[in-house]
């Protein structure tokens, strides 16, 4: 209908709180989204709620109003906690609301590592000052600080803070193993952590703190999303990856990544053309026209072979790209990754 066709918004938010009856909250949430013709994904758990939803401007502002008046979130969730960007219901294929164990899939029981043990939150201004100081110290080679990106490799590839350490992981559930494997890097360091909207830092910082090796752990409140609202030309360069059909949102014109095939500057992701692959690929228009549309040669080959129903399971996400990123990263952090990213 007409409302849905207008340019609208995509909202990103989360709220950690005690949910006694996740099933009930889930049913309420589903009804609310359907009523407002919102699409997107909402995760509900006994530890809270995490959502990204799209719809008309009228619908998204009503959604925020209703969420803020929901007794469960009283005095915890506030207007500031909703990050919004231009989009709408068309940014998601459908609406998915479900009950999960964790509201962000780190793969560690919330009872073992709780969001309550999180790092110190820094406002975008405070974080900006910290990064500025870190970059000026790092150029003199005397920094006791690590700027840690806790997103996946394909997110940090197209946009990141200058001088960050970006783990080569493809799922947030690999983050704990990454920390375990690289504990010596974090020893006695001040860690500045960031992610898209702040939620991965809530659990990620708690996990890092539970290892008791860092001097201090800080996190960017509201994530890159909030930082870019205040510092569109700050220390974050490139695009911000988002988990919907837009793939990325832009705050500055920098392109920091390249086409996988010819190396020309390019940062527009496409889904790998091989049917069973869920990898994203950076392939520029001219390489696309040459038929280079898969994430790697293995997938390019696979695409050419017409696959039978029977082999579907075996073919699921198996290629060079996935083999390069096992659960426990093999490669240690090289000094190259710690340079100031200029």
Q: Are 128 and 227 in contact (CB under 8 A)?
A: yes
CATH 3.40.50.2020 given to domain 120-248: no
pLDDT in tens, 33-73: 999 999 999 999 999 999 999 999 999 999 999 999 999 99
Percentage of the chain modeled with pLDDT above 90: 75
**E runs forming strands in the chain:** 8-16, 39-45, 48-55, 83-87, 95-99, 120-122, 145-149, 159-161, 190-194, 216-220, 236-238, 240-241, 248-249, 269-271, 280-282
Show pLDDT as tens, one digit a residue, over the chain (342 residues): 334 445 899 999 999 999 999 999 999 999 999 999 999 999 999 999 999 999 999 999 999 999 999 999 988 999 999 999 999 999 999 999 999 999 999 999 988 988 889 999 999 999 999 999 999 987 777 789 999 999 999 999 999 999 999 999 989 999 999 999 999 999 999 999 999 999 999 999 999 999 999 999 999 999 999 999 999 999 999 999 999 998 899 888 899 999 999 999 999 999 999 887 888 999 999 999 999 999 988 888 877 665 554 555 555 567 888 777 766 444 444 444 444 433
Clarify whether 195 is annotated catalytic: yes
Token couple for 207: 């996990």
Distance CA 110, CA 103 (A): 9
Per the prediction, the chain carries an average pLDDT of 89
Q: Are 169 and 186 in contact (CB under 8 A)?
A: no
How far CA 227 is from CA of 129, 197, 230, in Å, comes to 12, 9, 5
Say how many C-beta atoms besides its own lie within 10 A of residue 85's C-beta: 20
Q: Are 43 and 51 in contact (CB under 8 A)?
A: yes
DSSP 95: E
Distance CA 220, CA 101 (A): 24
Distance CA 125, CA 139 (A): 22
Q: The whole model's pTM is what?
A: 0.86
Phi then psi for residue 308, to 5 deg, are: -90, 160
Token couple for 206: 């708690």
Nearest by Cα to 200 from 219, 187, 179, 183: 219
Same fold, 9-99 and 120-248: no
9-99 in CATH: which number? 3.30.70.100
Q: Which of 195, 272, 287, 319 is catalytic?
A: 195
Nearest by Cα to 223 from 122, 152, 108: 122
Distance CA 337, CA 138 (A): 13
Say how many C-beta atoms besides its own lie within 10 A of residue 171's C-beta: 12
- Domain spans of the chain? 9-99, 120-248, 258-307
Nearest by Cα to 13 from 105, 106, 76, 87: 76
pLDDT for the residue 27: 98
Q: Are 155 and 196 in contact (CB under 8 A)?
A: yes
Residue at token pair 């060079």: 320
In the chain, the N- to C-terminal Cα span, in Å, equals 48
SS3 of 203, please?
A: helix
Distance CA 100, CA 102 (A): 5
Asked whether the CA dihedral 266, 271, 276, 279 is positive or negative, the reply is positive
Number of H helices, E strands in the chain: 14, 15
């Amino acid at each position: 209908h007409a409302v849905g066709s207008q340019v609208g918004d995509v909202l990103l938010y989360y709220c950690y709180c005690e949910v006694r009856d996740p099933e009930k909250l889930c049913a309420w949430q589903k009804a609310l989204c359907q009523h407002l013709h919102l699409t997107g994904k909402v995760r509900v758990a006994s530890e809270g709620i995490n959502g990204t939803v799209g719809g008309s401007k009228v619908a998204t502002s009503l959604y925020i109003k209703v969420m803020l008046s929901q007794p469960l979130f009283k005095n915890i969730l506030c207007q500031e906690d909703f990050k919004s960007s231009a989009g709408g219901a068309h940014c998601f294929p459908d609406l998915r609301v479900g009950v999960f164990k964790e509201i962000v899939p780190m793969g560690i029981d919330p009872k073992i590592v709780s969001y309550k043990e999180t790092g110190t939150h820094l406002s975008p201004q405070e974080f900006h000052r910290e990064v500025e100081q870190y970059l000026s110290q790092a150029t003199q080679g005397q920094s006791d600080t690590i700027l840690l990106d806790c997103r996946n490799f394909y997110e940090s590839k197209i946009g990141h803070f200058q001088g960050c350490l970006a783990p080569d992981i493809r799922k947030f559930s690999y983050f704990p193993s990454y920390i375990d494997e690289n504990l010596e890097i974090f020893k006695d360091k001040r860690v500045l952590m960031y992610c898209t909207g702040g939620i991965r830092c809530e659990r990620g910082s708690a996990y890092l703190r539970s290892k008791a090796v860092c001097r201090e752990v800080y996190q960017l409140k509201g994530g890159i999303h909030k930082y870019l609202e205040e510092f569109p030309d700050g220390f974050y360069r490139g695009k911000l990856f988002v988990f919907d059909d837009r793939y990325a949102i832009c705050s500055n014109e920098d392109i920091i990544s390249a086409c996988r095939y010819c190396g020309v500057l390019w940062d527009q992701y496409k889904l790998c053309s091989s049917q069973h692959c869920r990898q994203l690929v950076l392939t520029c228009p001219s390489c696309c026209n040459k038929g280079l549309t898969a994430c790697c040669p293995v997938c390019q080959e696979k695409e050419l072979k017409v696959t039978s129903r029977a082999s579907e399971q075996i073919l699921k996400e198996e290629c060079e790209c996935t083999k390069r990123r096992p659960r426990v990263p093999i490669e240690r952090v090289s000094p190259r990754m710690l340079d100031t990213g200029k």
